[in-house]
Amino acid sequence: MKTFGDKLVEAGRRHGRLCVGIDPHAALLEQWGLGTTVEGLRAFTQACVAAFKGNVALVKPQVAFYEAFGSAGFAVLEEALAELREAGTLVVADAKRGDIGSTMAGYAHAWLDPDSPLVADAVTVSPYLGYGSLKPILELAEEQAKGVFVLAATSNPEARELQDQRGGDGRSISQQVVDAAAASNAQWKADGHYGNVGVVVGATLATPPALSELNGPILLPGVGAQGATAENVLRLTEGVVELGFPNVSRAILRQGPGVDKLTQAVVEAGASFK
């Protein structure tokens, strides 16, 4: 069985190691000449899906922008997830879920169960109730060869106060999260595969955690509008470049609403990370 890590690396070889976001926030809807309505949300999303499917390694819809419209917004997201996956394009639902016990299991089934209308290829999760709290979603990911991207070292300034704290062994909290993810991937590494568990590491960070032992995909937000460059990505992923997937959203989305221009932008951006 191919793991999610295997499938994502293969997609990166075909299309370039780019993750592009679908972020229909109000300012972009307005820029595209669309209303802040379900109809505007659907038009925005359909244009992105048409431009991105088959042209990019990974697509990352931001769940919050759909959730804001209630059940109608989730219906639009369900349509997008299904169309992207039917086209063979990998999708990570940027939901950043985190809880314990049966609630975490509920999130796992919502985003990774093949029978769920919201099923994606991967989902983002928060480990800050303890890495062990992620057990239900990690187990389902292993069972279904799905991906889990664990927030490790995020780029927001407030995160440093928490994530840079060090334990008795001298490792930062961010490094502890990366090491826990590496342990989850260890058996796959022994078997010659990349693992299902990835991490999120901000591309703008000056002192990121060490990633050489992760053996799983690395999602790197912050490229483009937030200031990070291809050189930053190469520095952070030295030795594991094939596993690094920079996330570019605003720089591509502002090329809309024309599908042709969006497609051109995503193909050009992907070529920068081959």
- Predicted confidence at residue 225, as pLDDT, reads 58
Which residues make Cβ contacts (< 8 Å) with residue 259, sequence separation at least 6? Answer: 47, 50, 51
pTM across the whole model: 0.96
Supply the CATH number for residue 260's domain.
3.20.20.70
Between CA 243 and CA 19 the distance in angstroms is 12
User: Per this entry, what is the length of the chain?
Assistant: 274
Q: Decide: 217 and 242 in contact? Cβ < 8 Å.
A: no
- pLDDT means per 10 residues in the chain (274 residues)? 96 95 96 96 98 97 98 98 97 97 98 98 97 98 98 90 90 97 97 97 91 97 72 86 94 95 92 84
Written as six digits, the tokens of 227 are 């200031």
The C-alpha atoms of residue 224 and residue 228 are separated, in whole angstroms, by: 6
Selection from 45, 111, 109 nearest residue 83 by Cα? 45
Would you state the pLDDT for residue 204?
Answer: 87
Task: Spell out the residues 6+ positions from residue 28 whose beta carbon is closer than 8 angstroms to its own.
Answer: 44, 250, 253, 254, 256
DSSP states of 137-158: HHHHHHHHT-EEEEEEE-SSTT
What is the distance between the alpha carbons of residues 179 and 209, in angstroms, rounded to a whole number? 9
Q: How many folded domains does the chain comprise?
A: 1
Give me 234's structure tokens.
């190469």
Domain encompassing residue 10: 4-271
What pLDDT, on the 0 to 100 scale, is given for residue 224? 62
Q: Which residues are catalytic?
A: 96
Q: Is 224 left (phi over 0), alpha (psi -120 to 50) or beta?
A: left
Confidence at residue 227, expressed as pLDDT on a 0 to 100 scale:
65
